[in-house]
């Protein structure tokens, strides 16, 4: 098949066969020629293993024993085989000298073949030591997910099925415009999308001293922790896919929320203090006393999980926590997480958002583990899970 260095290792098991449910092709070969059967498997990118029955019948399988071992059964006269690419992956450009007939780049590089990833999906080669039998995966383009890759990702919730490594991710603008980047934080509680961050030194800028009802973006296309705010339509799109708001302090110093001061507040329980009307923090003035039974948080050593919270916002005051009933400070100012004009000595002593000019305050929208809302489904791929080991009888290396 090839005339240079070893390219494949084949492991064969006698008197074993896969269930017919995984068969994707049958070919006649010379008696017992396992290399010919491997060649047919390599020409079909969905082939993950193969078997030879009655010495001349080559059958291709779309599954592998390590993932679907329950489909492997005893059958006299059959030999089941798996293969590993030893030097092929990552060096396809060097194979043309060893190929005959069709081009190697088309024959073995699956993503140069057509119709493998329908419904707007993008084919991406796989180079996995853990699953060497898998040669490609189908992924959605950036900013989209869903079975047909036609559902826009408008917040970090759309990435909860991925790597879940905190950092910059691309989402779709609320009006269907181009992709833009947001900062996503992922933890055991859920996914959070950053919509605002500013330093104590910048508290007097209009973007941070006026309500969220104002459309006052700053540095929204280049995250700067000391002065950053998304435009209102983008905030709204993110909030509509969220169940909680969250304030944090000095997030960029640790990238772990629990290492600083934070509070999570359910969006559905923010009401006007003089009635039961729910309010939209991006549209309404808020003066609300809520019991944070479904949220959690801390300031210094104070646990905020079961506090009553007064959340306030006016046309010229930013959204902020005015008071906690479980955390009292002397003096007339009790503001935390957002309104520092100026903070009392008591607040400054315990609250990390106002320790010095470089202290920062963040506002996030997102999900929490206590939320009843579910994140959107993750991207569909060609790969599957599960792992079942089977016994190997023979191992052959082919050149």
Clarify whether residues 337 and 279 are in a common domain: yes
Clarify whether residues 215 and 192 are in a common domain: yes
Omega prior to 326 cis, within 30 of 0: no
Domain hosting 354: range is: 151-368
Clarify whether residues 221 and 336 are in a common domain: yes
Clarify whether residues 251 and 158 are in a common domain: yes
Clarify whether residues 221 and 78 are in a common domain: no
Distance CA 243, CA 232 (A): 18
Q: Are 309 and 299 in contact (CB under 8 A)?
A: no
Clarify whether residues 127 and 184 are in a common domain: no
Give residue-wise pLDDT tens across range 132-143: 788 888 888 888
Q: What is the DSSP string of 370-392?
A: T-S--PPP----S----------
Q: Are 145 and 376 in contact (CB under 8 A)?
A: yes
Distance CA 246, CA 364 (A): 5
Q: Is residue 94 domain-resident? A: no
Clarify whether residues 341 and 197 are in a common domain: yes
Q: Is residue 269 domain-resident? A: yes
Average pLDDT for 263-271: 84
Q: Is residue 317 domain-resident? A: yes
Burial state string for 62-84 with b = 16 or more CB within 10 A and e = fewer than 16: bbbbbbbeebbeeeeebbbbbbe
Cβ atoms within 10 Å of 336's Cβ, excluding its own: 29
Q: Is residue 389 domain-resident? A: no
If one counts the domains in the chain, the total is: 2
Q: What is the CATH number of the domain that holds 35?
A: 3.50.4.10
Distance CA 50, CA 65 (A): 10
Q: Is residue 146 domain-resident? A: no
Clarify whether residues 198 and 300 are in a common domain: yes
Structure tokens belonging to residue 32: 């017992």
Domain boundary among 139, 159, 181: 139
Q: Give the model's pLDDT for residue 95.
A: 43
Clarify whether residues 118 and 168 are in a common domain: no
Q: Is residue 98 domain-resident? A: no
Q: Give the model's pLDDT for residue 80.
A: 94
Structure tokens belonging to residue 153: 């990702």
Hey, what's the torsion of the CAs at 94, 98, 100, 102, to 10 degrees? -20
Q: Is residue 130 domain-resident? A: yes
Q: Is residue 386 domain-resident? A: no
Q: Give the model's pLDDT for residue 86.
A: 60
Distance CA 287, CA 254 (A): 32
Clarify whether residues 118 and 201 are in a common domain: no
> Quick one: DSSP state of residue 194?
E
Q: Give the model's pLDDT for residue 112.
A: 77
Q: Give the model's pLDDT for residue 367.
A: 83
The residues, ordered by sequence, that sit 6+ positions from 186 with a Cβ below 8 Å of its Cβ are 156, 159, 160, 164, 165, 166, 192
Structure tokens belonging to residue 146: 């869903």
pLDDT-based confidence at residue 131 (cuts at 50, 70, 90): confident
Average pLDDT for 239-254: 93
196 - beta bridge partners?
229, 363
Clarify whether residues 310 and 188 are in a common domain: yes
Clarify whether residues 123 and 175 are in a common domain: no
């Amino acid at each position: 098949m090839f005339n240079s260095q070893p390219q494949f290792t084949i492991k064969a098991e006698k008197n074993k066969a896969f269930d017919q449910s995984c068969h994707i092709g049958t070919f006649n070969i010379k008696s017992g020629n396992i290399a010919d059967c491997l060649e047919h498997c390599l020409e079909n990118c969905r082939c993950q293993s193969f078997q030879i029955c009655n010495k001349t019948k080559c059958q291709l399988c779309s599954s592998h024993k390590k993932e679907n071992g329950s489909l492997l059964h005893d059958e006299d006269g059959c030999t089941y085989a798996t293969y590993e690419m030893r030097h092929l992956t990552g060096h396809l450009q060097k194979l043309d000298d060893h190929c005959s007939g069709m081009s190697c780049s088309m024959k073995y590089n699956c993503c140069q073949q057509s119709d493998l990833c329908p419904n707007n999906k993008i084919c991406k080669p796989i180079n996995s030591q853990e699953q060497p039998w898998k040669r490609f995966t189908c992924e959605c383009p950036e900013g989209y997910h869903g079975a047909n890759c036609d559902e826009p990702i408008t917040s970090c919730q759309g990435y909860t099925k991925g790597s879940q490594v905190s950092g910059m991710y691309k989402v779709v603008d609320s009006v269907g415009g181009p992709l833009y980047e947001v900062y996503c934080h992922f933890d055991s509680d859920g996914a959070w999308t950053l919509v605002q961050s500013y330093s104590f030194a910048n508290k007097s800028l209009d973007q941070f001293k006026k309500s969220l009802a104002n459309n006052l973006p700053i540095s929204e296309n280049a995250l700067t922790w000391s002065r950053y705010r998304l435009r209102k339509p983008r905030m709204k799109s993110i909030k509509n896919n969220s169940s909680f708001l969250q304030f944090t302090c000095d997030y960029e110093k640790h990238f772990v929320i629990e290492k600083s001061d934070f509070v999570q507040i359910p969006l559905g329980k923010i009401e006007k203090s003089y009635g039961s009307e729910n309010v939209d923090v991006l549209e309404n003035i808020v003066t609300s006393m809520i019991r944070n039974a479904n949220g959690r948080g801390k300031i210094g050593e104070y646990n905020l999980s079961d506090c009553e919270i007064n959340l306030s916002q006016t046309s010229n005051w930013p959204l902020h926590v005015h008071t906690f009933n479980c955390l009292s400070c002397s003096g007339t100012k009790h503001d935390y997480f957002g309104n520092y004009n100026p903070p009392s000595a008591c607040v400054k002593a315990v609250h990390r958002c106002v320790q010095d000019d470089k202290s920062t305050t963040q506002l996030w929208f997102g999900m929490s583990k206590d939320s009843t809302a579910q994140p959107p489904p993750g991207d569909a791929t060609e790969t599957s899970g599960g792992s079942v080991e089977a016994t190997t009888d023979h191992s052959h290396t082919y050149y």
